Amino acid sequence: MHPLVKWTALTLAICLPLSAQAHRAWMLPSATVLSGEDPWVTVDAAVSNDLFYFEHFSMHIAGVGDVSTQPTGQRARQAAKLHVFAPDGSEVKPQNGAIGRYRSTFDLHLTQKGTYKLAIANSGLFASWKEGQENKRWMGKAEDFAKQVPANAAELKVAQNSSRMEVFVTSGNPTTSVLKTTGVGLELAPITHPNDLFAGEAAEFSLLLDGKPAAGVEVSVIPGGNRYRDELGEIKTTSDANGKISITWPNAGMYWLEAKLSSKEGVSAPATERRASYSATLEVLAP
């Protein structure tokens, strides 16, 4: 495939803000709160229409599984880079990874007590333009833009994209070391610990953009299992002037949280627009 049009549904699913009807990229842990002396967690990763249901394709994660076993079209998809941080801040490796047709999977051995963070972050430029009657698209790093996109491209639109996907898992009592944000892109700064969520109770979080409070950010929270409901069950809210949001969980279960924004401020040339998104899978327990 020509480099100007080498872009994939997976890359778009991870890097672009998503609508309620779009494909959603997610990680699903087998549990988020564990006890015992030798706990393990299995994590599935996929892209799908219905939350936590495997029906579109697997998320390719660098270092997890063998992409050579996949059909040719799937091998071309860009692998996401996963970082797993232990409670002491060290980075640990996933184990027993495999890539299937509809999902990828890996295990985490929780050898430390406290809270772990799993994170996938991406950034880059997305350009679209026309060559005659043909629509062209390109996604990549800013330093490659001039090499890949014609300088005189017609109807050129360039967006600066960043995304972050996270999951939190706790062995024993929750800790806060891994909750520290990086100061890059759109991030969630928990006020309520993400592994201390209960049905019927309100949880508070702060949204930050490049380390500063992000006001007016739209947030969508959807309970898993929407395949089996007539309604999506979406909870919508918007961050206040201090970037804060409050969510009262209607029921126990797994939820998918997504925050997204689009702005023309803080944009670096050649982009004229900035898009940022954040998503997390959260488990809400019965009180």
Q: Please tell me the predicted confidence (pLDDT) of residue 163.
A: 93
List of E strands, the chain: 24-29, 33-34, 40-48, 57-58, 82-85, 91-92, 95-99, 104-109, 114-131, 134-140, 154-171, 186-190, 202-209, 212-213, 218-223, 235-238, 244-248, 253-263, 273-284
pLDDT single digits (tens) 231-244: 888 999 999 999 99
| Mean per-residue pLDDT of the chain | 88
What's the mean pLDDT in 268-285? 94
Label residue 227 by pLDDT band (50, 70, 90).
Answer: confident
- pLDDT for 10 beyond 90: no
Full-model pTM: 0.86
Q: Please tell me the predicted confidence (pLDDT) of residue 151.
A: 86
Label residue 22 by pLDDT band (50, 70, 90).
Answer: low
Label residue 67 by pLDDT band (50, 70, 90).
Answer: low
Query: Hey, where are the domains in the chain?
Result: 3-284
**What whole-number percentage of the chain has pLDDT above 90?**
70
